A = this chain, B = another copy of it.
């Protein structure tokens, strides 16, 4: 993959990666374009040529990071609609979902975007639309399909999606923003945590025969 990239595209990736690491550790306001250029071993002019300014670079870093993390979970959610064993498959999906959102780069990205939400509101809105909102919409679509198959009883798919997502990840993702994803993951028994959340979800939403 890297070999196939031209020299300019490789420089772009190097700048994105250097900018991301510096923004994560020193914050957006605490990082200068000079530092990013030095870390990427390019000139300041090269950074400006690729990204215009620091603000554009921040938008590119967040967009780039979201592309790789959101697509995988959306695909998993879509596949659940065809399940032959609802409880087993929804539990497995919930465990993968919880582990995915507690990954260190995901938590760091959230911290960065939330910390700048007052100064760069369009970035925070972009993040919310591209990540949490799309994930919730995918759950709603999946639960609606499972309703049509007679496996769930979900009169309000968007509400059920919200309930499922936050039963599974709610406390953990909230705590991770403050205490860090790896620390939270290490303190949670993912299997029993996820089973408890799924049990509550199914108690409210599973369709009962007869």
Contacts and interface: CB of A to CB of B under 8 A. Distances in A.
Interface of A: 24-27, 29-30, 108, 110-119, 121, 124-125, 127-128, 132, 136, 156, 159, 162-163, 165-167, 170-171, 173-175, 177-180, 193, 196-197, 199-201, 203-205
Given A136-B171, A162-B170, A163-B196, 6 more contacts: A27-B29, A27-B115, A29-B29, A132-B175, A165-B171, A166-B170
A27 B175 contact: no
Given A200-B201, A204-B200, A24 B125 contact: no
A179 B27 contact: no
Contacts of A173: 174
A24 B118 contact: yes
A175 B165 CA distance: 13
A159 B124 contact: no
A113 B114 CA distance: 10
Contacts of A116: 27, 115
**In the complex, the 5 A-B pairs of residues with the closest C-beta atoms, listed nearest first:** A115-B115, A166-B170, A128-B178, A200-B204, A203-B204
Contact of A27 (B119, B166, B171, B205): B119
B111 A117 contact: yes
Nearest to A156: B196
B179 A124 contact: yes
Contacts of A200: 163, 200-201, 203-205
Contacts of A178: 113-114, 117, 124-125, 127-128, 132
Contacts of A108: 118
A179 B125 contact: yes
A26 B29 CA distance: 10
